[in-house]
Structure 1
Amino acid sequence: MPDDLPDVESQTIIAVQAERVNNGKNHDFVRFYISCRALDASLELKVTCSHWSVENLLYWMLGIVFDEDRQKNRVGYAGENLGVIRLWILNILKRNTVRSLSMARKRKLCCLNDDY
């Protein structure tokens, strides 16, 4: 258990030990999840997997639609503020189900039409 873990009223603490090989070099790391519910092993697995599927889908969308990985907004809170705006725009684009378009095309259409 890490020493810097905050004191919280938790029922379950999950430690996931993982190993990644990148360019022939091993990287070992541990991820911790804290839950206020008592979980059994099968539910712990579902919770951790669903957490990462949601995270990966959201950041994949932001990376693809807004090319977020190449943004250079590092002054003050500009990066965080623009990240909030991008999430807001992504949610607006997801609500438009009238036309079956990719998110990138919806974004371009939105830029061309003031009434979008």
Structure 2
Amino acid sequence: MPKVERGELINAGVLLYCQPRDYLCAKVELDPGRLRALDPQADVDGVRRALNAYELACGEECGPLAGEPLGGRFRWLTAPRSTIVQAGPVHAGLTADPGTELARLFDKLVRI
């Protein structure tokens, strides 16, 4: 969120949770050029660290969410709380292959 008070944002990742498949994964990629187009003074490294925390939080042994059930992690990760990185709205859907769906959504929503 380069300027949260103005509602500016760029898509920088996808978080996918599939309860039946016991799957939670985040895929992130920051485009520094897009970020700096909105905020030339943006702390690119700080934003990258904040985004990487989402990926790490999906792992079993990392960080403060280690040991939490995947559903709890997902709710924690999607709760609005930061002015640097904010999850967008949660959308429901069905998939038999969450890894492939994550890649498809990432290409469609982030690498546009």
Normalised by the length of structure 1, the TM-score is 0.27
Normalised by the length of structure 2, the TM-score is 0.27
Which of these two proteins has the greater Rg computed from alpha carbons?
Answer: 1
Specify which structure has the bigger relative contact order, considering alpha-carbon pairs within 8 angstroms and separated by 6 or more residues.
2
